[in-house]
Amino acid sequence: MSKKQLGSIMLLFCIAAILVAGGWPADAGDLAPPPGPVTPTMRTMQELYDNLQSLQAGVANARTAVQSLPGSGTATHVIDQPGSYFLAGNITGESGKHGIQINAQNVTLDLNGFALVGVPGSLDGIHIPGGSGLNINISNGTIRNWSGDGVDAGTGDSSPQAIFLEGLRAVQNAGDGLATGSEVVVIGCRAALNMGGGIAVEGGSIVRDCVCRDNGGDGILATNDCWVAGNYVDDHCGSSGIRVIAGNTYVSNNVIGDVTTGIKVDSPDNLIIQNRVNNSNCGSHVPYDIVSGNAVGQVIDFTSGGQLGHGITSEMNLSF
């Protein structure tokens, strides 16, 4: 036997002796199981489910049900603190009161698919007094049958409102469907069968991807510095489909049908392009009524057999 073989045998002998004596460090710990029955060391599916339910409950508890809020002499429920609120069911109004009044800033209100339903003599469905509406988000529900506006969000207030209205349906209200102050975004909403106008916004606002049908007043009314785009308006031979009453507003890519005047612009310095008008069901109609001093692209009138020919350019010599 060589010295090399003898050295290998002695090394193996030493390793075996250490293992038998239990002196070799093991990262995995003691391999011998503890006395008693074997029990699981991981969480069960039920424990995981319970933890998930607790987490979801915590998220839900971070929001407040509007029905839990007290009212006032002018509103059935009043939001007077910042936070996230939701409807836990439909709310029926009261005569002489708004449905929900928001007096706080930094508020999110999720109607959660439910409805605010007015009664005779009620006021606005949702009312935001002027000066209160900074950073307010209202979405996902119906406001109907109110004796005032469906939503009155700071109308007449020229200060920045920063209000976001999305996915609302304002139906059969005695005033406007959605009426707002300045710097408001209205996206994906529907205003129908209101005795006033459909949607009315003030300076610096956006109205996009909305539907206004069969309202008594103008389908969409905008003042200065607004953007009105991608909307469908059909007011059953009512007033104007889209009306602009101040300057620096951009009206584009809207489809307008069955109104007395397709697009009415009362003030100069606006841009009106790529809009379509179809008034075939109205006995007397005007595709557009636009004062001079505006930049106007082609207004396509499909009333008479799909004819074009209503393209106009302004005195500013701009064409689109």
What average pLDDT does this structure show over 117-142? 92
Q: Are 241 and 233 in contact (CB under 8 A)?
A: yes
Task: Write down the residue that tokens 């007033």 correspond to.
Answer: 239
pLDDT at 284: 65
Give the count of beta carbons closer than 10 Å to the beta carbon of residue 81.
13
CA distance 210 to 82: 28
Structure tokens at 108: 């999110």
Give the Cα-Cα-Cα angle 34, 39, 44 (nearest 5 degrees).
150
Residue 95 near residue 122 (C-beta atoms within 8 A): yes
Q: Is the pLDDT of residue 18 over 90?
A: no
pLDDT at 103 over 80: yes
Higher pLDDT, 187 or 33: 187
Tell me the pLDDT band of 32, cut-offs 50, 70 and 90: low
Output the average pLDDT for the chain.
83
Kindly tell me if the per-residue pLDDT of 114 is higher than 50: yes
Q: Contact 139/126 with Cβ under 8 angstroms?
A: no
* Spatial contact of 227 and 206, defined as CB atoms under 8 Å apart: yes
Name which of 229, 300, 228, 223 is nearest 266 in CA terms.
Answer: 223
Instruction: State whether residue 168 is helix, strand or coil.
Output: strand
Q: Please determine, for residue 180, whether its predicted confidence score (pLDDT) is greater than 90.
A: yes
Would the pTM count as exceeding 0.85? no
At 155 the pLDDT is: 81
Average pLDDT over residues 304-315: 43
* Lowest mean pLDDT segment, chosen from 32-41, 124-133, 148-157, 257-266: 32-41
Q: How far apart are CA 220 and CA 116, in angstroms?
A: 22
